[in-house]
């Protein structure tokens, strides 16, 4: 796990974006899609990393590798 990784997790007020090991969320959003979009933007800004998305049942349902925002030759993501 990298310091750049972020997690989209269920929160009592919607969906939260959290950094690994953090007690508090970076932000809470009304929809999972909003939280995922924000998490990807954060990871891209800090130099790339992994975004893991939790389903409403608490199980990890997806992950996405985000390249750095200034990568001149990004890898080809076959899943997204």
In a domain, 76, yes or no: no
In a domain, 51, yes or no: yes
In a domain, 73, yes or no: no
The alpha-helical segments, DSSP class H, found in the chain are 32-45
In a domain, 75, yes or no: no
Sheet holding 49-54, edge to edge: 27-29, 14-19, 6-11, 49-54, 60-66
* Mean pLDDT confidence for 66-73: 69
Distance CA 50, CA 39 (A): 9
Model pLDDT for residues 11-57, shown as the tens digit of each residue:
999 999 999 999 999 999 999 999 999 999 999 999 999 999 999 99
Q: What residue numbers bound the domain in which 10 lies?
A: 6-65
In a domain, 49, yes or no: yes
**pTM (two decimals):** 0.82
Strands (E), the chain: 6-11, 14-19, 27-29, 49-54, 60-66
In a domain, 41, yes or no: yes
Say which DSSP state 1 is in: -
Q: How many domains does the chain have?
A: 1
In a domain, 74, yes or no: no
């Amino acid at each position: 796990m990298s310091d750049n990784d972020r997690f989209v997790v269920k929160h009592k007020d919607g969906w939260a974006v959290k950094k690994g090991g953090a007690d508090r969320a970076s932000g809470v959003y009304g929809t999972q899609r909003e939280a995922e979009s924000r998490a990807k933007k954060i990871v891209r800004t800090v130099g790339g990393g992994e975004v893991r998305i939790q389903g409403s049942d608490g199980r990890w349902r997806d992950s996405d590798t985000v390249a750095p925002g200034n990568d001149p030759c990004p890898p080809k993501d076959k899943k997204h």
